[in-house]
Amino acid sequence: MSKIGLIESFILVGFVAMAELLELIITLAVGPGEVVKWFINIIVWLPVQFWLLFRGARGDLYALSALIEFIPFINALPIKTALLITTIYIHNHPESAAAKTVHTAQEVMPVKKPRRKPKPKIKKKSKVRMATKVITKI
C-alpha cells in the first residue's frame, strides 16, 4: 500500500478547505443557500473520493463527512477537512491507534451481503439427442 505524499496531501486538503471556506461565506452572507452548498459538496466530494480510492485509501470517514455536510448549518463547520486529514493519517499510519480503532469498529459491524438464490440446475442433453432435434427440424 503506497503512502499519500505530503505535497499531495497539502494540495488536496487546500482544495477541500477552500471549498469549505466558500460554504462558510455562503452561509454567513446568503443564509441557508443549501442548494448551492449541496452543489459545492458534490463537486468537491466526487474527485476527492475517487482520488482516495485510486490511492488505495479507505475513504469511509471522508464519505461520512460528505453525508454530514448535507445537514443545514452544520456544514459551516470544517468537518470534511478534519476527516480528510484523519483519513490521510490513518492511511499513512496503519499501525496507529486511530487506524486500529476505525478498522476494529468496521469489523465489529460488518455489512451483511444478501443471500443469492441457487441457480437452477440445467439438465445436460446428449449430443445425439440434440443432433436428432436439428435433423427433425429440417
The pTM of this model reads 0.66
Per-residue pLDDT reduced to its tens digit, 18-33:
988 988 888 788 766 7
Range of the domain at 92: 6-108
The winner for highest mean pLDDT among 12-16, 51-55, 133-137 is 12-16
**Domain contains 138:** no
**Domain contains 118:** no
| CA distance linking residue 99 with residue 80, whole number of Å | 18
Q: Which three cell numbers stand for residue 130?
A: 440434440
**Angle of helix 97-108 versus helix 79-92 axis, rounded to 10:** 100
**Domain contains 57:** yes
Q: Which three cell numbers stand for residue 121?
A: 440446475
**Domain contains 80:** yes
Alpha helices in the chain (DSSP H): 6-29, 34-54, 60-68, 79-92, 97-108, 127-137
